[in-house]
Amino acid sequence: MMASSPKQQLKKALGSFPLTAELDWFIRQSGKPTGKFKLEKLKTALPIWREEVMASPFRDRVGKKIFLFGTLRPWIRHTSLLGMGLAGFGHDLTLGYLPYAHYSVPYSKYDLRRYNLYSHGVLKRAEPVIQTISLLDIDPVGILPKELDKAIKSLSEYDLQYIQQKEEIDLTDELYTLRMQRNSLAAGAALAWMQENNPDVVIVPNGLIIEFGAVFQAAKYLGIPVMSYEFGEQRERTWISRNREVIHQDTSEIWEAVKDLPLAESQLNMLKQLFTSRKQADLWKNFKRRWQGQPSEGDEKVRKRLGLDNRPVVLLAANVVGDSLTLGRQVFTSSMTEWVLRTVQYFSDNTQVQFVLRVHPGEAITDGPSVGEIVRESFPHLPSNVHIIEAEDPVNTYDLVSIASLGLTYTTTVGLEMAMSGVIVIPVGNTHYRGKGFTLDLNSWEEYFESLDSILDNPEKHALTEDQVRAAWHYGYHFFFEYPFPFPWHIRGLRGDWDAVKTWPLRRVFSSEGERAFGRTFRYFAGEQVEFGDLAADENMFIGADHEVE
């Protein structure tokens, strides 16, 4: 560990004395931001939002008592806005928060007290329409209950995997100690507050990692309904989950409700348009992420580019190592890395087949170890039938899908799109499309390797039926278009000029137009049951995406 600077040592010493940080903040900074923890735009916005909430025609509805939690600057901004939206629909909101600027940086007591004072000064501007409380100001329970303590330890392991972007971790690492301390504090303070105040519903972003996961686990331990939410690639859409970490993308409830409902032609056409745009590395409607940097070139060009011949092609589409979409998703493997390496070994010994490992294009914007690097370290002399396509290589994944006889995935949604293309898919991780009737779902290493042998020996025998391909398209429509709830404020829309709030200011959300577009979502956030399968099957479902209020 690096030695502390004299300034850090002074802060550590002063942090033990009452009022030193408070006096310094009031006298020298006069209530201005301290360090990297700045919420100045939120400070300006809150009084405006407060007035819009108080003018809401839905404010007098009888609502729920809701505890909403946020930490880190982007999520404190977002949970503040979400809380204002819920308050405008008649709910009684308390926003609990922790004034951390980063999840892996340790802060002295001195700095935390200053951050706490600053955030309190900003967030009290939301009152009285929502109440605010720092979890640092709550006396946490002394010792966590055994069940909750176990969950916090697992959570802290996920944190280390997520932050370091690797699956093999060292629990003696100082970062693990930091995450245990912070998660335990968050869980203990949240537990104490919930036991005293008895909220009807708890809402947290993500629910799987860092302090979000700690508050989620505290609510779960008390049996309080807990809603977690996250954002994907669609503007004006959010994923929401009840009593389950949303990042697990549990689609069982929606699939059970819609699997027997036929798709309308307009619904099928929307999905076809989306699928075509993804193949061509284009944006479509409110989808704002390109995972493909290279448009489709066609079967022959990709074969020539990679030096592939006419032998069968097996495509393994990897996830990013340590991504939250992979954490805790094992079925029979110890990790995604173990699965990749054992699979590479299998195909290194089977030269009758061409094996293509597609590194996730998302690795291009992450800092962790690459799947390609991990494989090359374990297999410095790969045989000629094994090909690795790196994240930034100019190869379109959908061209690889078009020439594949078999697809292997962990949790990436490419597996769903392979099935939509008629490719046999084995999802090894517990992904959202596993068990929906169009994938080969295995539960042991023995089954896995036996299935590989059988499929490669006779691919036609295992080919997807027309009904299975149709089911994949059916599921795909509901996953892309109905599983994400309509919602006005994507977290990326609170960057820069806060375009999301310009498009959907609170006063517009509280109009009859806003209630029609998003009322169902706000009701689900508040823990109410909703019916699936009732969204409009046309382009009007993207209401508001291209309109801005002056």
**CA-angle at 206, arms to 100 and 41, nearest 5°:** 45
Q: Determine if the peptide bond prior to 128 is cis (ω within 30°).
A: yes
Residues 288 and 227 in one domain: no
| Residue 498 region by backbone torsions, left for phi larger than 0, else alpha for psi between -120 and 50, else beta | left
- Residue 174's domain comprises 18-249
- Write down which residue in 192, 215, 249 finishes a domain: 249
Instruction: Look up the CATH number of the domain holding residue 146.
Output: 3.40.50
Residues 100 and 56 in one domain: yes
Residues 357 and 415 in one domain: yes
Residue 529 lies in a domain: no
Residue 511 lies in a domain: no
Residues 303 and 412 in one domain: yes
Residues 334 and 473 in one domain: yes
- Write down which residue in 227, 249, 271 finishes a domain: 249
Strand, coil or helix: 205 = strand
Residue 498 lies in a domain: no
pTM of the model: 0.89
Instruction: Look up the CATH number of the domain holding residue 432.
Output: 3.40.50.2000
Residues 232 and 274 in one domain: no
Q: Can you give the pLDDT at residue 25? A: 52
| Residue 21 region by backbone torsions, left for phi larger than 0, else alpha for psi between -120 and 50, else beta | alpha
Cα 162 versus chain centre, distance: 12
Cβ proximity of 354 and 313 under 8 Å: yes
- Write down which residue in 481, 500, 518 finishes a domain: 481
Residues 244 and 264 in one domain: no
Q: What digits encode the pLDDT tens for the residues 435-444?
A: 999 999 999 9
Domain count, the chain: 2
Q: What digits encode the pLDDT tens for the residues 420-436?
A: 999 999 999 999 999 99
Q: Can you give the pLDDT at residue 298? A: 78
Residues 178 and 268 in one domain: no
φ, ψ of residue 67 in degrees (nearest 5): -105, 120
Q: Can you give the pLDDT at residue 282? A: 47
Task: Give the C-alpha distances (Å, rounded to integers) separating 493 from 26, 231, 508, 522.
Answer: 33, 11, 16, 18
Q: Can you give the pLDDT at residue 427? A: 98
Strand, coil or helix: 162 = helix
450's CB contacts (< 8 A; 6+ apart) are none
Residues 317 and 431 in one domain: yes
Residues 41 and 139 in one domain: yes
Cβ proximity of 116 and 97 under 8 Å: no
Q: Rounded CA gap, 495 and 76, in Å?
A: 13
Residue 544 lies in a domain: no
Residue 548 lies in a domain: no
Residues 289 and 402 in one domain: yes
Q: Rounded CA gap, 378 and 70, in Å?
A: 41
Strand order in the sheet with 354-358: 386-389, 354-358, 313-317, 406-409, 424-427
Q: Can you give the pLDDT at residue 544? A: 38
End-to-end CA distance of the chain: 53
Residues of the chain short of pLDDT 50, as ranges, are: 1-3, 10, 13-14, 282-292, 536-550
